[in-house]
């Protein structure tokens, strides 16, 4: 749901950093990746396979592959680790949404994590590096027969007695004018009148912050729609021409298959004779009608449509490959096979440098955003007194996108044979055993080997 940006800014008397071009692009990307592209035309037989969403999902999957965050060093670190574990649970799914729309906001609200997509936040300030430092976030609640919207305005404003910037968070609530419509704010109400927000303060000032409480993950790459905007672009923004071609080509192929039934034409005399005798002809047998040449009233003619499947698949594969390249993948990552349908490369080979570099760049941007989000969570932890002060260290781990299960399994077998790792670790990693079961079976095997040695 895209909020009315004019209403968001008017609520606090500020002008948002926005443009009609970016707003239109966001809506277009959303329509394309939710199955409603502008070229979809059921009357003409053109449907969509929603390759756009598949590309966003696949890129997010590689980004978040085996992602891990370890925070250590103090009791504060332990608390941050616990809430970061919650962050990681929903992160892969949210990243797929962010890839569709060019990015997303991540912030901790004191109890849980908020993931806000473009359209549900407005930008009020950016620094010299085009990093977002001021924003208004929208959240929604339903109570009784009314829908409510809360706007949460984050910004740096003024300085304290020592000249340090002051960070201010202001909350305002509204009851929507139209049931089910969240695009218009409606009537201002108190926070206390809405159960979900009754414990929130209307305004909070926080000192000694050097960065905002929120983080913005931005899909890497230049914004060619609005270079002045700090927002990112959809991962498929440069491949819309190919996405349209893929949908049309696949739709035409499917229509051709539907129309490819075998037909037998028989002469009008034979057809009429069968009807007069009450003989029911098969559905694929038709009488020769007007306008069809019939040299003999009893002739039989076969019609078998010629399918252009191979030629169409060749064209589809060209556009799939081009779309993949334009979305940052190596050539050939996406392919349509005549027997198995559309498949995605499940293993990225080591020489697929374009894919590897794209995912590395994505992960670097994500790491920067996560560091910022954890910084904000740490500041709120201090504000609410949820854990004692303490220093902490953060380490990030991402899975290898060139990972091959069988190769890894063979390597671990070699490690155990050489005595580099305990055998029970192999059973846990590859045989699905618990640590207790693996250690027990390893010990039993060692005992049997020892007894055989004594008697031999």
Is pLDDT at 72 greater than 70 in this prediction? yes
Is pLDDT at 264 greater than 70 in this prediction? no
Nearest by Cα to 235 from 37, 356, 55, 367: 55
Query: What is the mean pLDDT of the segment spanning 222-240?
Result: 95
The predicted pLDDT at position 48 comes to 94
Query: What is the mean pLDDT of the segment spanning 338-342?
Result: 46
Is pLDDT at 283 greater than 60 in this prediction? no
Is pLDDT at 348 greater than 50 in this prediction? no
Per the prediction, the chain carries an average pLDDT of 84
Is pLDDT at 73 greater than 50 in this prediction? yes
Is pLDDT at 349 greater than 50 in this prediction? no
Give yes or no for a contact between 71 and 391, defined as CB atoms under 8 angstroms apart: no
Question: What's the alpha-carbon Rg for the chain, to the nearest Å?
Answer: 31
Q: Is the pTM of this model over 0.85?
A: no
Is pLDDT at 272 greater than 80 in this prediction? no
Is pLDDT at 219 greater than 90 in this prediction? yes
Query: What is the mean pLDDT of the segment spanning 204-230?
Result: 94
Query: What is the mean pLDDT of the segment spanning 295-312?
Result: 62
Is pLDDT at 321 greater than 80 in this prediction? yes
Of all residues in the chain, what percent carry a pLDDT higher than 90? 52
């Amino acid at each position: 749901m895209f909020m009315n940006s004019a209403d968001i800014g008017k609520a606090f008397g500020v002008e948002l950093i926005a443009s009609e071009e970016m707003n239109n692009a966001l809506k277009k990307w959303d329509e394309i990746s939710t199955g409603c592209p502008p070229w979809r035309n059921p009357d003409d037989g053109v449907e969509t396979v929603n390759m756009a969403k598949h590309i966003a999902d696949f890129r997010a999957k590689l980004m978040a592959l085996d992602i891990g965050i370890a925070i250590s060093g103090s009791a504060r670190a332990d608390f941050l680790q616990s809430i970061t574990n919650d962050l990681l649970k929903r992160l892969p799914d949210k990243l797929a949404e962010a890839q569709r729309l060019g990015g997303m906001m991540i912030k901790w609200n004191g109890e849980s994590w908020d993931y806000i997509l473009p359209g549900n936040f407005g930008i009020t300030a950016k620094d010299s590096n085009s990093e977002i430092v001021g924003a208004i976030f929208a959240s929604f609640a339903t109570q009784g027969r009314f829908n409510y919207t809360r706007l949460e305005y984050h910004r740096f404003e003024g300085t304290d007695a020592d000249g340090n910037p002051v960070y201010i968070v202001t909350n305002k609530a509204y009851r929507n004018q139209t049931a089910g419509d969240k695009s218009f704010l409606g009537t201002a109400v108190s926070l206390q009148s809405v159960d979900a927000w009754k414990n929130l303060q209307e305004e909070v000032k926080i000192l000694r912050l050097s960065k905002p409480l929120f983080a913005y993950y931005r899909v890497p790459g230049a914004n060619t729609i609005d270079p002045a905007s700090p927002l990112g672009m959809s991962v498929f923004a440069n491949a819309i021409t190919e996405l349209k071609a893929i949908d049309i080509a696949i739709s035409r192929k499917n229509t051709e298959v539907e129309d490819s039934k075998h037909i037998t034409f028989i002469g009008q005399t034979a057809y009429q004779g069968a009807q007069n005798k009450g003989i029911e002809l098969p559905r694929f047998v038709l009488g020769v009608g007007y306008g069809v040449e019939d040299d003999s009233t009893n002739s039989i003619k076969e019609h078998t449509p010629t399918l252009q499947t191979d030629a169409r698949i060749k064209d589809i594969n060209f556009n799939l490959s081009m779309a993949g390249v334009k979305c940052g993948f190596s050539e050939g990552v996406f392919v349509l096979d005549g027997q198995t349908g559309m498949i995605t490369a499940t293993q990225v080979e080591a020489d697929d440098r374009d894919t590897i570099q794209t995912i590395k760049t994505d992960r670097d941007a994500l790491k920067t955003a996560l560091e910022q989000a954890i910084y904000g969570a740490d500041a709120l932890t201090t504000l609410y007194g949820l854990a004692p002060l303490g220093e902490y260290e953060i380490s990030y781990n991402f899975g290898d996108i060139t990972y091959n299960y069988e190769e890894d399994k063979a390597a671990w077998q070699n490690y155990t044979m050489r005595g580099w790792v305990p055998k029970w670790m192999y059973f846990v990693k590859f045989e699905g055993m618990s640590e207790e079961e693996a250690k027990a079976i390893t010990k039993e095997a060692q005992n049997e080997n020892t007894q055989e040695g004594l008697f031999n």
